[in-house]
Amino acid sequence: ILNMKNIPIVDLTIVFIYLFAMIGIGYYFSRKNKNTDQFTKASGQIPGWAIGISIYATFLSSNTFLGVPGKAFGSNWNAFVFSISMPFAAWVASKYFIPFYRNTGEISAYTNLEKRFGAWARTYAVVCFLLTQFARMGSVFFGMALTLQALLGFSMSSIMIVMGICIIIYTVLGGIEAVIWTEVVQGILKTLGAILILLLIIWEIPGGLSTVYDIAKSEHKFSLGTAALNFKESSFWVVLFYGFFINLNNFGMDQNYVQRYHTAISNKQARKSVWLSVFIYVPASLLFFIIGTSLFAYYQINPAIADSLKHALALEKLGVNASALDISNFMHQLTPEDYADKVLPHFMVNKVPTICLGLLVAAILSAAMSTISSGMNASATVFTKDIYKRYFYPQLSDKKEFVTLYSATIIVGIIGLLVGLSMIGIKSILDLWWELSGIFSGGMLGLFLLGIISKQTKNTEAFIAVIVGVIVIIWFSFSDKLGPDLFYLKIALHKNMIIVVGTLTIFFTGLIFTKIKQLSKKINNYK
């Protein structure tokens, strides 16, 4: 319903050229994939600057491309605090995590957990990682389809399926080297696409940026959230803590990033890649907040255009046979937050000129493809190394392991696609992804920190800590579903605090039980 016009043939041609180019890159690198070492870590020959842009491209998914402008449009710049937290996590990663992983020589981020605590710890972290990746890939598939539905006029499911096939083909063919070098191209392309979108929006607003600034200031759009120590709402501190812990998980426990550390020529190049990704991502994310705020100003000074969007949403929700009164009532009930994720596609359909539209569609595709292909490659590597080879075929030959990696990549891609299809109809991409990532990531980050920091903690204490932590995470995640008679069991903290509470619960529970065990030994020795 939001499709106001068919995409011109010139723009459609640009999109197809981009897709075939990506598959062509995958085919080019497929000729170099002769063994698992090349497929999973490119034989450690990638320069740091390319890895840095690759990490940046993975961060800058369609969740950012669509979700961040939507958050800025519907509320304020509170979510930008997430970006502010990144340098702190990058410092920890470059100083401790990168040397640790490269010294182990293990391509999997989770092998060390088995050495520290046993096979259960490795398996638990792998399951958490895979669930996180399926949620991430699904949300990215959904975000891509939500935008392209408005531009192309096809159903979201058909867009996801076609794009899923293309992504699976080039990821399977090229391995990690193809993923990294295509992400370099994609990172540049989607940054240029974002700049083009902003210029087109500003062009449509009389007075340009000064008008945007005046409207945004009057509506408190630049607010980063309350500075009060309020953890019940999305305050400055809630997003800062969430951002620090989730980025610590990304740099320290996420196979997407750990695998890239191994592709670097040296430790210095690996550290450079992390800092480069942060230095690019922070201003790039600010650009997307400016886009969202500019869209808010544009629709404020063009109420008729805003009404056309609301009317389209009413027809989509109520059906084309709905009465004029029902449509009018529905439109009056809508708030900017209700249609925040729709404004960018709506603007692009109606205001982006020919050729530019094709380039922007390619940019949106690149935002999705880089994240999904990266997740597919990392998930296939983890499945092959930590599950299939660990539990089923320990003596797996390199040739058969190579085949397993190919097969796992296809299966992971299909699962991510199915998750994306199941997400059709959600309200906010960014909110959903933040909540799911907090649920799945909190446990494994707490266990990882416990293993690195507390050398005295052993298998039993770590296992107890994880059990306690998982119970707390589940309780936190679903306590809002409890009925009014159980209101006293509900956790009043904001959902973004799940990863913070889960991580700290596991870490400190492990420390406490370690101290109890040490104290018990001292008492027994004294007796």
Instruction: Identify the pLDDT of residue 2.
Output: 41
Instruction: Identify the pLDDT of residue 494.
Output: 83
Could you give the 3-state DSSP secondary structure of residue 46? Answer: strand
Confidence of residue 84 (pLDDT cuts 50, 70, 90): very high
Confidence of residue 41 (pLDDT cuts 50, 70, 90): low
- What letter represents residue 142's amino acid? F
**Rounded CA gap, 250 and 255, in Å?**
8
Tens-digit pLDDT profile for residues 299-348: 999 888 888 888 888 887 787 788 888 888 888 888 888 777 788 888 88
**Rounded CA gap, 6 and 149, in Å?**
11
Does the structure show a pLDDT above 60 at 428?
no
**Rounded CA gap, 97 and 258, in Å?**
9
- Higher pLDDT among residues 207 and 398, named by residue: 207
Least confident of 50-64, 305-319, 424-438: 424-438
Handedness of CA 32, 254, 375, 114 (dihedral sign): positive
List C-alpha distances in Å: 408 to 27, 53, 178: 18, 26, 17
Rg for the chain, CA atoms, rounded: 24
**CA nearest neighbour of 215 among 224, 228, 206, 225:** 206
- What does the mean pLDDT of the chain come to? 83
Copy the structure tokens of residue 470: 């998982």
Confidence of residue 108 (pLDDT cuts 50, 70, 90): confident
**Rounded CA gap, 296 and 425, in Å?**
23
Tens-digit pLDDT profile for residues 491-518: 778 888 888 888 999 999 999 999 988 8
At residue 272's C-alpha, the angle toward residues 269 and 274, to 5°, is 120
Does the structure show a pLDDT above 70 at 6?
no
Confidence of residue 276 (pLDDT cuts 50, 70, 90): very high
Could you give the 3-state DSSP secondary structure of residue 477? Answer: helix
Instruction: Identify the pLDDT of residue 195.
Output: 92
List C-alpha distances in Å: 322 to 119, 254, 317, 331, 342: 58, 48, 9, 12, 21
Instruction: Identify the pLDDT of residue 33.
Output: 65
Does the structure show a pLDDT above 90 at 291?
yes
pLDDT exceeding 70 applies to what percent of the chain?
Answer: 90
| Mean pLDDT of the region 112-122 | 88
Confidence of residue 5 (pLDDT cuts 50, 70, 90): very low
List phi, psi (to 5°) of 255.
-60, -30
At residue 14's C-alpha, the angle toward residues 11 and 19, to 5°, is 130
Copy the structure tokens of residue 45: 């020959």
**CA nearest neighbour of 361 among 372, 373, 352, 350:** 352
Confidence of residue 62 (pLDDT cuts 50, 70, 90): low
Copy the structure tokens of residue 91: 């410092």
Confidence of residue 287 (pLDDT cuts 50, 70, 90): very high
Does the structure show a pLDDT above 80 at 133?
yes
pTM of the model: 0.82
Least confident of 2-11, 122-131, 405-414: 2-11
**Rounded CA gap, 164 and 180, in Å?**
18
Residue 513 has, within 13 A of its CA and on its CB side, a CA count of 18
Does the structure show a pLDDT above 70 at 488?
no
